[in-house]
Amino acid sequence: MKNGIKLSRGATLVLITITGVVGYYFATNSGQASTNKVSPTLPLSDDALKAATQSMRARHPDMSSDSTANMIDLGSKLFVDKGFSSNGEVACSTCHQPETSFTDSKPTGAGIAVGGMNTPTIINAYAGHWFFWNGRADSLEAQALGPVENPGEHGFSRGQVVRRLIEHYKTPYEALFGPIPPEATNSEQVFARPASKPARVSHEVAAYALATLGSPILQKSILHEAQSKSLQPVEILENMAAGSAEKPTAFDQLPEVRKAAINNVFRNFGRAIAAFERTVVTTDASFDRFADRFSGVDNPTQALGEGFGEPELRGLRIFTGRGNCVLCHQGRLFTDQQFHNIGLPPVKSDSVDLGRAQGMLIARGSEFSCLGTFAAQDTARMTTSESCHELKFIETESAEAVGAFKTPTLRNLRDTAPYGHDGRFPRVRDVLNHYNNLGTVNTVGHTEDSLRPLVLSSGELDDLEVFLMSLSSTVDFYKAH
């Protein structure tokens, strides 16, 4: 197939034309269903376990946020201010609540409306590379601008942000970023947000997604819609994934100079919030204290202690051995900062989420990404940002990206239920059961080859679960005076 799409499991899409109606045969993707063998990975030696443990031990930079105290203080206020929403009731902290490690205990986030994605934690976000489950933001600064204009979250607009900053934060804002230019504050205010531009995956990527689609109900509704609209099923899938194009709004029709002035103030708003978010860090968990003790002894059993006993150690051995979890959940934040398809079948019948395949296109097209006209990060950050370098060379025609989502951190799972990008798993145990069995149905795209059903006993799953819980700790963050 052209454009380097690798159909790694040989999934095929067969077009059948019967009396002018185009039908699709959804080829099954061999693989997970039949591989019912135990993962072959061996347990690590004590030395290797020690090395793995040290690599996962939390280490924070002296100052997680290198921003000025005044910027952090302003950001902390913006984070909790419900005035930045269309109904006066939604702030970032509505969904990112400090008591639950900055999550909301709901399957999917709810602001102005209930959304379709689970609210991730923002703990240790200072170390993140990509943000959102599909990684559509390449910096914490750019991320912060998304929810504000999302009609289902804050339902606000950048023009309204400028107005509120002038009315309530003029002095601290201008002390940090300079005067708000008259072009942004024109008395004739425009409060429309820009029209959203759908990011469409290529025809090849869409065809691949269609061929691997694991939901019979969704397949049926796509075929049905294709027939009723006289379109190709693949076009229906493309539209579903991208969302519909909006008509240009009053903001889009503003003179460039005004748009630019508003965008600049808006990105500074993102900078202040990001400065606060960088202060949100976890402290030492029982696991980290175990790691410290282990560094001074040869045998891990000599390092056991409060909150980390035999069961946690057995769980750690599974995590780093048979479970092979460290393949993706690695390092001190237990994430490789990458995107993977772990084989979750689509649950909705009227929409499909292509995950990273969509996210990378949005990041590429964003005016606030490091390649955009209004790069939200400051220059100093951009030069050290890994996602910024990656973004330039990203492979947008990748089959691997279809149905792949960001590897979430495993710190503070105690507080962050429910789990998964769409909050489908109420308990940690449900996630573990998924890895233990792996579904027999296809997902969208293909489940990563490294994943095999683990076939752990329920006692072993208990151990893995208590180990995961030992990664929880209190959360430190800047509190305004």
Name residues whose C-beta falls within 8 Å of residue 243's C-beta, 6 or more positions apart in sequence.
196, 198
Please provide the DSSP assignment of 86-102 as one string. TTS---HHHHSBGGGTT
Backbone CA torsion sign across 321, 326, 329, 330: positive
Pairing label, strands 281-282, 21-26:
unpaired
| Identified binder of ligand HEC from the candidate list 5, 27, 327, 371, rule CB under 6 A | 327
Nearer to ligand HEC, 48 or 347 (CB): 347
The DSSP H or E segment spanning 432 is helix 428-437
For residue 101, CA distances in Å to 110, 123, 275 come to 17, 7, 18
153 binds ligand HEC (CB under 6 A): yes
Minimum CB separation of residue 111 from ligand HEC in Å reads 3
| Identified binder of ligand HEC from the candidate list 340, 356, 381, 446, rule CB under 6 A | 340
Site of tokens 């960088």:
278
Q: Do residues 282 and 123 touch, judged by C-beta distance below 8 A?
A: yes
What is the size of the binding site for ligand HEC (CB under 6 A)? 54
What is the per-residue binding string for ligand HEC in 279-308, x denoting contact by CB under 6 A? ------------------------------
342 binds ligand HEC (CB under 6 A): yes
Nearer to ligand HEC, 200 or 293 (CB): 200
How far is 232 from 93, CA to CA, in rounded Å?
43
Q: Do residues 212 and 185 touch, judged by C-beta distance below 8 A?
A: no
369 binds ligand HEC (CB under 6 A): no
- Tokens at 412, concatenated: 């503070």
Candidates 1-9, 61-69, 92-100, 260-268: pick the segment binding ligand HEC (CB under 6 A): 92-100
450 binds ligand HEC (CB under 6 A): yes
| Identified binder of ligand HEC from the candidate list 451, 461, 469, 475, rule CB under 6 A | 451
How far is 56 from 289, CA to CA, in rounded Å?
12
Taking CB under 6 A as the criterion, which residues in 235-274 touch ligand HEC?
Answer: 273
329 binds ligand HEC (CB under 6 A): yes
What is the per-residue binding string for ligand HEC in 113-142, x denoting contact by CB under 6 A? --x-x-xx-x--x--x--xxx------x--
- Tokens at 450, concatenated: 């490294």
325 binds ligand HEC (CB under 6 A): yes
Amino acid at 128: G
Site of tokens 């914490």:
140
Site of tokens 């519909």:
244
How far is 237 from 191, CA to CA, in rounded Å?
33
419 binds ligand HEC (CB under 6 A): yes
| Identified binder of ligand HEC from the candidate list 58, 280, 431, 466, rule CB under 6 A | 431
Nearest to 249 by CA among 151, 181, 318, 126: 151
| Identified binder of ligand HEC from the candidate list 7, 13, 123, 144, rule CB under 6 A | 144
Q: Do residues 459 and 56 touch, judged by C-beta distance below 8 A?
A: no
Nearer to ligand HEC, 205 or 342 (CB): 342
155 binds ligand HEC (CB under 6 A): no
95 binds ligand HEC (CB under 6 A): yes
Q: Where along the sequence are the contacts to ligand HEC (CB under 6 A)?
A: 90, 92, 94-96, 109-111, 115, 117, 119-120, 122, 125, 128, 131-133, 140, 143-144, 147-148, 153-154, 273, 323-325, 327-329, 340, 342, 344, 405-408, 410, 413, 416, 419-421, 428, 431-432, 435, 448, 450-451, 454, 464
